[in-house]
Structure 1
Amino acid sequence: MKIAPYSLGEVLAVAEIHPFYKEEIQYPPEEKIIRELREKTSTDEAAEKKLSAWSITWKKNLYNTIQRLVNDTRPDNTYRQSVYASITGGGFGSKPLFFGTDVYENRKHRANFGHFLKTLGVIKPGDWALTTHCAGELYRSLDLTLEILENAGASVLSAGNFMSPHDVVKLLIKYHINILASDSGQVVQMVHYISTLPDEERALIKLDKIIYFTYRIEYRMLF
């Protein structure tokens, strides 16, 4: 059995039998079929040419396909099996888009990225992180950030979505937290609030790293 990373030829071979890219396909392929395809797919020098000829996948079409797959509760619908539900948008009035990915592979990605941050020295032994989050409904940044930081070796606390900046600051001080993780809007909010504190209280805050995430799960470091 081949091991990831996947080649472009393998990706295109699976896409040929996936309903996201071929509307006439009813369900995504089972794991066994994907494994067999990968084993049969050799290094494809023509893969780039195939990709350039591939038709564009439009978001409006994905809405329809995903809705059909979510609503189909038959046991042979592979899209609803072992799903990590990733919801994009929907937090500020936009239409949410549901993506179902394999839960086991998702956890491997988190573990690998956590190890990557640890290897880079971004997260070090003894780091304590506080995550805050309040935007959106079925949203994924909070649990992703928590587990990635944990896999990197940090001790992580999660602030509830109703906690005020005042309460968050009390946690930062009480647990001697040195990392704040949040979306960019809350980073600005917290930095502004901290700037208004008296010098003696602000001196008790020992942040040396700020990690903020966007709605596309892009991570940024502020030191």
Structure 2
Amino acid sequence: APNKIVNISRCGHYIRPYVHQQYIHCMNDKSILTKEKLHEQLIELKTTDKYWNQSVYLSSSGGSGGKRLFFATDIQENLRQRQILVNMMIEQNIISSTDICLNLFQSGNIYRSFEIFNDFCSIANCTTIPMGANANNNDIYEIIQYFKPNVLMGSPYRLMELALFIEKQEKNEIYFEKIYFACESLDKIKQDYFKRIFHCSIYIGFYGSAETGVYACQSPNYSSTKIYLYPKELVNIEIVNSKIIVTNLIRKRNQLIRFDSGDLGRIISTNENSK
């Protein structure tokens, strides 16, 4: 069956049987692939595949683990991954066509968060207001008053800058139903402050990386927790010594198998067919 996940012996685990191996990023002994080893493989790929940089979607990591890394994904497969995640978001009432989303994520220098969240909105058929992280707070404030967005999106750092600005305004009548955040954690102190300034109590985090793409997010039911949902048809998650190990299940080009995300976590069991 095309949706069945099987275990194969060559270079990895949990790969769909119809996947054509254009290039696989994994360890030959089936051990866990680290970011350092992945970087070595990407350098090697440039010397062995003259088409490595054609028809690809490029993402840049933040470089927190060492050298800055550029990961190439097939353009159509990248779009498919976003579609799968948004389908789950719609099913879980995370996003809807009635939402109006103010996007304050960062763009430029091959960083993709701004564009990613614009895409999520377009796929979900909801309105996005693409202001970006570098927009002036006065301009953002006017846009909020004009369009009345119900969803605020951005890194906690950028949202804090906006909150401090709004707090100083004479009319602080700003209301958001939901806040989408990524790039860093949102602690309880910030949540409490945002609730006072933005009058919002639903905080939805998104999780992923340049290598894996975005593959998990929170839902209103798990707002203000550290519980994230992911589509099982998109990724396989293993927990090894508390480390989150990711295998992407839909890529035919530059497959990523048993990749160490660098984060710690645990799996909360649900029934076999659920997200």
1:20 and 2:20 matched:
no
How does the TM-score come out when normalised to structure 1? 0.68
* Contact 1:85–1:99, Cα closer than 8 Å, also in 2: yes
Q: Which amino acid aligns with 1:98?
A: F
Structure 1: give runs of 5+ residues left out of the alignment. 24-52
2:25 aligned counterpart, secondary structure: coil
Q: 1:99 aligns with which of 53, 68, 71?
A: 71
Residues 56 and 120 (structure 1 numbering): CA distance in 2 closer, same or farther, change over 3 Å? closer
How do 1:160-171 residues align onto structure 2 when only pairs under 5 Å count?
A: 160-171=132-143
Q: Tell me which of 179, 183, 196 is aligned to 1:210.
A: 179
Gaps of 5+ in 2: 185-208, 225-275
Report the Cα distance in structure 2 between the residues aligned to 1:166 and 1:71, rounded to whole angstroms. 49
Q: Work out the CA distance in 1 between the residues paired with 2:68 and 2:31.
A: 24
**Match 1:83 to one of 56, 62, 69:** 56
Per-residue Cα deviation, 1:77-118 (whole angstroms, up to 9, x for no partner) = 4x334211121114x896321111121121112122222222
**Mapped pair 1:59 → 2:45:** no
Cα pair 1:211 1:220 within 8 Å, conserved: no
- SS of equivalent residue, structure 1 residue 100: strand
Q: Please tell me the root mean square deviation across aligned C-alpha atoms, in Å.
A: 3.3
Q: Is the 8 A contact 1:131 1:181 kept in 2?
A: yes
CA distance in 2, matches of 1:114, 1:19: 26
Structure 1 SS opposite 2:125: coil
Alignment of 1:1-223 (within 5 A): 3-4=2-3, 6-9=5-8, 11-12=12-13, 18=23, 20-21=25-26, 54-70=30-46, 74=50, 77=51, 79-90=52-63, 95-134=67-106, 137-198=109-170, 201-203=171-173, 205-214=174-183, 216=209, 217=214, 219-220=217-218
Shift of 1:183: 1.4
The structure showing larger relative contact order (alpha-carbon pairs under 8 Å, at least 6 residues apart) is 2
Q: Contact conserved, 1:180 with 1:207, CA < 8 A, in 2?
A: yes
Bigger fraction of residues in strand = 2
Q: Any idea what the Cα deviations from partners look like across 1:92-151, whole Å, max 9, x if unmatched? A: 896321111121121112122222222222223321101112377211211111111221
Distance change in 2, residues 1:18/1:72 (3 Å): closer
Q: CA–CA distance in 1 between the matches of 2:102 and 2:159?
A: 12
**Structure 1 residue matching 2:8: 3-state secondary structure:** helix
Q: CA deviation at 1:156?
A: 0.6
Structure 1 residue runs of 4+, over 6 Å off?
A: 13-17
CA distance 1:4–1:105, shift in 2 (3 Å): farther
Identity level (%):
21
CA contact (8 A) 1:84 1:102 kept: yes
